[in-house]
Amino acid sequence: MTDGATRPADDWWRSAVVYQVYPRSFADADGDGTGDVNGIRARLPYLADLGVDALWISPWYPSPLLDGGYDVSDYRDINPEFGTLSDADALIAEAHALGIRILIDLVPNHCSWEHPWFKAALKATPGSPERDLFWFRDGKDGHAPTNWPAAFGGSAWQQIDDGQWYLHLFDISQPDWNWDNPLVVEEFDSILRFWFDRGIDGFRIDVADSMAKDPSLPDVPLKDGEPTREKYVGNPFYDQPGVHTIHQRWRAIADEYAGTPQGPRVFVAEAWLSPAERLAQYVRSNELHSAFNFDVLRCAWDAKELREVIDHTTESLWAVGAPATWVLSNHDTIRHRTRYGRDQREALEGAGVVPTDLELGRRRARAAALLELALPGGAYIYQGDELGLPEVEDLPEEVLDDPTWERSGHTVRGRDGCRVPIPWSGSEPPYGFGTGEGQPWLPQPADWAPLTAEAEAGDPNSHLNLYKAALRVRRDQDALGEGRMTWDADVPAAVLSFTRDPGFRCIVNLGEQPVALPESAEILLASEPVIDGTLPGDATVWLKI
């Protein structure tokens, strides 16, 4: 491969800043209203200039897009709406030439009901080998085989014409694979190799904690009269011991690539598991390399709570030799500018129901970015975080696309508000997202002109320029990235202050009162202006000490 510019070290992923691309919403080169692979290619110079180490591209496979592509009908091709395999090859080569690694999304828990193996299973008879690739069962007394709830609402079982039911932990269009069947195991080995051989640097593993099920299919307990979705220890479809066997197998495959110029390939686990000790089981040295830490994402903007979460995370992960991996937003959550602009007890509530101060959210999002990028380990940036995009909370009901909306009987709007296409330039929709022929698949707000990449590039105080500066400093400072941190003593209750060797300090003021900075410290970067040596509220500063 031609990746002379990528970092040679095999452990690049321990401190990498990874930018999440949600391909449908990133950039639309062919102007049909949907983002595509050539759109990503066209924006590679922007991403290189931003200074990220790698991209994680959410699913780009052929899919009916009933769950935004997390419903895969062919794991070895590109969705024609997004482009072709040769576009993907070109993207991988061009990214590598710029020093940017590529991670893609593996969705191993379930496929799409349009996957040929599931179609064959539907046509086959109960008890057939085709059905054994999935979880087909007879019902119990005319009901579903278990009381398991689906993530998007309703039962996790769907009945078909011959009376049998199939399991779908997510949407009805996403049948769960039966990982006890060796053909499924072998198929995914082959899919990993297919993409590794094409030059992919690694995979993000979707719901990495759910592939293995308790085959005795026990019911889950009720909570408030409803079957719980909580991931209690012993839950029959989450965090079952069998998932670790799968991850160990994949790790061995990734390690086979150790002799290649790119080095061994890597995995990041998506598993919403708390406490961090549970998550740490997934990143032991013979399993996945890293795992998103969602505890900080779910944490309030509160110094005491954040410190506890940071300590708990680092202690648990370091105990197994893994780096921490920090995340503030992704395509499943309310964008953090919006979350931080709310009463923190209601930060994660649904769209449009909680009063939000977006200016407060903007300040805190900037402060949080400098906190995230100063913590030990790797960090993820969700597309548009670097522009300070807020959640779009007033999408018209008729455009809502997340299966949550239908499955909840139109009570939960779902995740579309963080998936609105990126504004690149210009003063009105589609803001350079596409050519203007096809309307963006989700409408963009009329007031996003100041938030385009172009507008922000020209504003020294913009979110974009803060991110760029932070990533530049991060590269220059040996203290940043992987390593250790020490909390500083004697700081006010609303302040987080920590030191990293050599000679770096990060101070986050989560309170309202300004705090005095140590004299003689050189300011490397600040999220708000530092006046008379004091750091204002809801702001972060990086110091050289």
Q: Site residues (CB under 6 A) for ligand TEU?
A: 67, 70, 107, 151, 170, 206-207, 270, 272, 331-332, 415
Burial pattern 285-311, b for ≥16 Cβ within 10 A else e, equals eebbbbbbbbbbbebbbebebbeebbe
For β-strands 101-106 and 54-57, DSSP reports them as: parallel
CB of 207 to ligand TEU, least distance (A): 5
- Bridge partners of residue 222, in order along the sequence: 227
In the numeric block, which tokens belong to residue 123?
């046509």
CB of 235 to ligand TEU, least distance (A): 13
Active site residue 256: yes
Helix (H) or strand (E) holding 361: helix 358-374
Of 199, 225, 172, 234, whose CA–CA distance to 97 is shortest?
Answer: 199
Quick one: angle between helices 182-197 and 242-255, nearest 10?
A: 30
Using the minimum distance from each CB to ligand TEU, give the nearer residue, 219 or 349: 349
Task: List the Cα angle 255/258/260 in 5-degree steps.
Answer: 135
How many CA atoms, within 13 angstroms, populate the side-chain half-sphere of residue 104? 27
Using the minimum distance from each CB to ligand TEU, give the nearer residue, 92 or 111: 111
CB of 70 to ligand TEU, least distance (A): 3
Burial pattern 196-226, b for ≥16 Cβ within 10 A else e, equals bebbbbbbbbbbbbbbbbeeeeeebeeeeee
Using the minimum distance from each CB to ligand TEU, give the nearer residue, 270 or 287: 270
Distances in Å between the Cα of 492 and the Cα atoms of 296, 447, 496, 517, 545 are: 21, 38, 8, 12, 20
Q: Which of 206, 209, 287, 401 is catalytic?
A: 206
Q: Which of 214, 256, 277, 488 is catalytic?
A: 256
Using the minimum distance from each CB to ligand TEU, give the nearer residue, 17 or 207: 207
Using the minimum distance from each CB to ligand TEU, give the nearer residue, 107 or 543: 107
Active site residue 214: no
CB of 209 to ligand TEU, least distance (A): 9
Q: Residue holding tokens 């893994």?
A: 322
CB of 159 to ligand TEU, least distance (A): 21
The catalytic residues are: 206, 256
